[in-house]
A = this chain, B = another copy of it.
């Protein structure tokens, strides 16, 4: 399997194991010094055990579904459909994978809905 195929598989397994709350098998995908960042809140969680704890403690009955996975060498991007009860939100996740096949960096974006600015109604339709 080439590097891209390996990264693509790891990215998919990362989401699957989170969704399954399979913490031992999630741990096996993560580098000990993995860094998790959420640039929108300027939060950083450093290290595998803190990152696991963050996921274990994350409130709500959340569910993750992969809409798209794009892998390229040691990098991957995931477009997720995230549901918590009746609420739905998309997420964009950027991963870096080491030569050893471990995730070393996760960057999450959680884009919120907002009202479109005025001035482009002549070009855009709404759904």
Contacts and interface: CB of A to CB of B under 8 A. Distances in A.
Interface in A40-69: 40-46, 50-51, 53-54, 57, 59, 68-69
A24 interface: no
A109 B92 contact: yes
B113 A112 contact: no
Contacts of A87: none
Interface of A: 4, 8, 38-46, 50-51, 53-54, 57, 59, 68-72, 75-77, 79, 90, 92, 94, 109-116, 119-120, 123-127
A123 B8 CA distance: 28
B72 A4 contact: yes
A71 B72 contact: yes
Contact of A109 (B43, B72, B90, B123): B90
A54 B116 CA distance: 13
Closest 5 CB pairs of A and B: A77-B77, A92-B92, A41-B116, A43-B124, A111-B111
A75 B43 CA distance: 29
A92 B78 CA distance: 11
Nearest to A77: B77
